[in-house]
């Protein structure tokens, strides 16, 4: 199983802490049943941490007309809204809720030039709350595609997430399917699309990053 680099330090720290705790328990309270139970619980917890940072190979064939899902999770919103941070006009919003069980790698939905990237500190409301897009800790990336249109991707922290990582920088070239960032421990990703984009998904549908086509350009 391939592990995302964002997990290397956390996995190492988890291993050292669990190993130290198990060694201390074995030394100070050498009860066989206790050491066995603690060993099993530690192994399960460690495997869960490693599994959270899994990074499955999701290769795709680049297509300038298609907008791929930037994350794994459930579609919780498909609606026309006002986007107040960058566009200041009406856009189609598609929101993907990522539970702690989902792959948490975020990927570029399109190729093009990164024209805007900004991090915003904020609250930690549940990620499916409608106002989390504006009030929670979040990071916004805008990509200008070859046809001149722009796509906004917003990474949003949730009630559990406390760390948003974004690799985008203005002026860089985004490559469709490549890593855009990572959100640790539960979150949401919003896409803001042009009104003339043809949306191919609906609420409650399960999306997979680099596999589900969210929309196509007309």
Residue 172 has what DSSP assignment? P
Question: Which tokens in the block code for residue 105?
Answer: 């790698």
Q: Look at strands 112-120 and 173-174 and give their pairing.
A: antiparallel
CA distance 162 to 173: 27
Exposure string of 178-206, with b = 16+ CB inside 10 Å and e = fewer, is ebbbbbbebbbbbbbbbeebebebeeeee
Query: Of 95, 132, 168, 187, which is the active-site residue?
Result: 187
Asked if residue 68 lies in contact with residue 109, where contact means CB atoms within 8 angstroms, the answer is yes
Active site residue 95: no
At 112 the three-state DSSP class reads strand
CA distance 2 to 54: 6
Place of tokens 């897009």: 133
Beta bridge partners of 170: none
Question: Which tokens in the block code for residue 199?
Answer: 């949306």
CA distance 183 to 103: 10
Q: Active-site positions? A: 187
């Amino acid at each position: 199983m391939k592990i995302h680099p964002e997990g290397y330090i956390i996995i190492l720290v988890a291993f050292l802490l669990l190993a130290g705790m198990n060694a201390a328990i074995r030394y100070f309270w050498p009860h066989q049943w206790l050491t066995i139970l603690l060993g099993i619980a530690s192994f399960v917890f460690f495997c869960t941490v490693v599994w959270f940072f899994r990074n499955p190979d999701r290769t795709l064939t680049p297509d300038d007309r298609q907008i791929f899902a930037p994350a794994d999770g459930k579609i919780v919103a498909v609606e026309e809204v006002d986007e107040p941070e960058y566009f200041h006009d009406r856009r189609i919003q598609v929101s993907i809720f990522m539970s702690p069980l989902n792959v948490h790698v975020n990927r570029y939905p399109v190729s093009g030039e990164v024209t805007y990237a900004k991090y915003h500190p904020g609250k930690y409301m549940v990620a499916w709350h409608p106002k989390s897009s504006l009030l929670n800790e979040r990071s916004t990336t805008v990509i200008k595609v070859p046809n001149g249109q722009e796509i906004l991707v917003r990474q949003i922290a949730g009630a559990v997430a406390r760390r948003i990582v974004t690799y985008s920088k203005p002026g860089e070239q985004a490559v469709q399917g490549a890593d855009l960032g990572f959100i640790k421990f539960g979150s949401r990703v919003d896409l803001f699309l042009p009104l003339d984009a043809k949306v191919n998904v609906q609420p409650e549908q399960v999306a997979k990053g680099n596999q589900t086509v969210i929309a196509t350009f007309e």
